[in-house]
Structure 1
Amino acid sequence: MSWTNYHTHSYFCDGKFAPEEHVKEAVKQGLYAYGVSTHSPVPFDSSWNMKMEEVPRYVKEVRQAAEAYKNDIQVYLGMEVDYIPNIVGCSSDFIQKAELDYTVGSIHYVDQFPNGKPWEIDGPHQLFLDGLSTIFHNDIRAAVERYYELTRHMIQYDCPDVIGHLDKIKMQNEDGNLFSEDEGWYRDAVEETLEVIAQSSAIVEVNTRGLYKKATDTPYPSPWILEKILEKNIPICLNADSHIPTEITKGFSEAAHILKEIGFNQLHILYNGEWQGVDFDTKGLKMLNH
């Protein structure tokens, strides 16, 4: 038994090593399928997004790896699209021209500083605090509600195949100093977002990076959110958000245990060219025919 992983980063963005090196590790670990999803280009300076001029080489390298290892694993070409209203989204021309197999849609940027620089919500904590102070006048509720508003906007107007780390903003909430996930306004923001997701065709990823990087005690999203996702019959997939080859299944058994305890029986995977539900346990996917 083994897994799949569709949220991965290579040397085209803030990951390490060539896509082929990641694929080799996926083959070594016996993964059924592997997706490469570099951070999409953005029209401003960024230390971790792919450069626009690199897109053709990125597409070529992933497609070459897919061909080279086609007898061992299914490799898919994706991109993690940093959704910014009216600037970047899954329908952007360069993404359409890349002819991707799938997209992961994520919110990493929330509004901007007075100088026009976008505010990263998952960068260094001090940068987060600077934006919270400058843009939202230290109103954490307003900032977090805006984060979820942007998530809903992405789903309603430029929906990806997979919604990346739904509650990523919680990584800045060290020791619950900024807000509590039990607060009514926070739960309302999440609930409203889940209602929008339930009306879409999107899959919510269960992202283990916070777990294995010790940034959070729970996966993205939190278990109480996962309980609501199950109630609403929203499909999920399990991803590692890996940046080096050895991370490609990190945290999977722990996350799978949490999912089984909640009551999930299936994970969605991209396999044989289509998204489909597959049974799983803490050791991997129960693939019948592959």
Structure 2
Amino acid sequence: MKFDLHTHHYRCGHADGDIRDYIEAAIAADIQVIGISDHTPFFGSDKEQAFPQTAMGKSELQHYVQEVLDLKKEYEGKIDVLLGIESDYFPDYAKLYQDILSQYPFDYIIGSVHYSSGYSIFDRSRWKGMNSADQIATKEEYFRMIAESARSGMFQILGHIDAMKSNYPDFTQIEAPQAIDRTLQVIAECGVAIEVNTSGKIKVCGLWHPVDEILERAHHFGVDISFGSDSHIPQRVGDDIDKVAQKLREIGFTEWVYYKQKQRHAVAL
């Protein structure tokens, strides 16, 4: 059985297509479970849509939820449509996000760290002029935030946990193995999954998230693995899923997981 839990659509302002397009693409790709997981609104501002090219407006959230639920009914028997959402982890607003998202019947919530130390993780300019010690500290802080997001209890899945390498491939070479191991241990203890996210292949780094070395350490610590294409165009739904499954088997994983009504479902690889 194949599933893809990480997809976006036009509401976030930087993806193409509507929800139906992604469901139809999943059916065409012989995927049995498709999760819709667009970006939450930014709740830390009084504005309706503080970042129109990044996240949906606040008033759109209820329409998003209802549309997914309607399509879930429409496609019953053809494909299992799950209501998910991708939420940033902002420590200062975590309680606010948790309170708002708890009002909706999400099957799962993906928690992603997109900002660390005041910068977007995709901002290459943050690395200019950094010495080795500063680079290590930056990587350690990023993974510390990911561990904190796991402890928050807000999420079933953590998104693209080494995405800081997306536009800065040298990130992978920064030596911070203890920070990565500590984070993976916390994730395992909290019973949260990490996704293999194949969107990294179309970024500067050209690699899935996370790199194989992190997946190997995740296996060592007993971390659950899920899958998400992070597709922003329908054509990428399920992208590389068979290759990912093969890689996970090579590492030693025997199953991966998806969530429905916040409950863990294991699928043999």
TM-score, normalised to structure 1, is 0.83
2:173 is aligned with what amino acid?
S
Partner deviation per Cα, 1:96-133 (whole Å, 9 max, x = no partner): 11221110000001132xxxxxx2112xxxx431x445
Change beyond 3 A, Cα 1:215–1:249: farther
Structure 1 residues 261 and 105 mapped into 2: Cα distance closer, same or farther (>3 Å)?
Answer: same
* Residue aligned with 1:39, SS: coil
- In 2, Cα distance between the equivalents of 1:48 and 1:161? 22
Q: Distance between the aligned counterparts of 1:102 and 1:148, measured in 2?
A: 22
Structure 2 CA distance for partners of 1:108 and 1:31, relative to 1, 3 Å = same
Q: 2:140 aligned to 118, 134, 145, which one?
A: 145
Task: Out of 71-80 and 250-259, give the one that drifted further.
Answer: 250-259
| Structure 2 unmatched runs, 5+ | none
| Match for residue 128 of structure 1 among 114, 119, 124 | 124
Call closer, same or farther: CA 1:135–1:203 in 2, change over 3 Å: same
**Preserved CA contact (<8 Å) 1:90 1:159:** no
Give 1:1-290 correspondences, 5 Å limit: 3-13=2-12, 14-42=14-42, 43-44=44-45, 45-46=50-51, 47-88=53-94, 92-112=98-118, 119-122=119-122, 127-129=123-125, 131-132=126-127, 139-174=134-169, 176=170, 180-181=173-174, 183=175, 186-211=176-201, 213-270=202-259, 274-280=263-269
Indicate if the aligned counterparts of 1:163 and 1:204 stay in contact, CA closer than 8 A. Answer: yes
CA positional deviation for 1:51: 1.2
State which drifts further: 190-199 or 12-21: 12-21
SS at match of 2:92: coil
SS in 1 for 2:155: coil
Q: Contact 1:230 / 1:263 at 8 angstroms: preserved in 2?
A: yes
Q: Contact 1:165/1:220 (CA < 8 Å) preserved in 2?
A: yes
Answer yes or no: is the 8 Å Cα contact 2:160–2:210 preserved in 1: yes
SS at match of 1:9: coil
Gaps of 5+ in 1: 113-118, 281-290
- Give, in angstroms, the shift of residue 79 of structure 1: 0.7
TM-score relative to the length of structure 2: 0.89
Q: How far is the alpha carbon of 1:28 from its aligned partner?
A: 2.4
**CA gap 1:6/1:269 in 2 versus in 1, 3 angstroms:** same
Contact 2:6 2:228 in 1 (8 A): yes
TM superposition shift of 1:9: 0.5
* Structure 1 residue 136: Cα displacement: 10
CA apart distance, 1:24: 1.6
For the residue of structure 2 that corresponds to 1:243, the secondary structure is coil
Q: Distance in 1 between matches of 2:146 and 2:131?
A: 18
Instruction: Give the root-mean-square deviation of aligned CA atoms.
Output: 2.4
Q: How many residues align?
A: 262
Identical columns (%): 27
Distance in 2 between residues matched to 1:39 and 1:134, nearest whole Å: 32
Query: Is this contact kept in 2: 1:267–1:278, CA < 8 A?
Result: yes
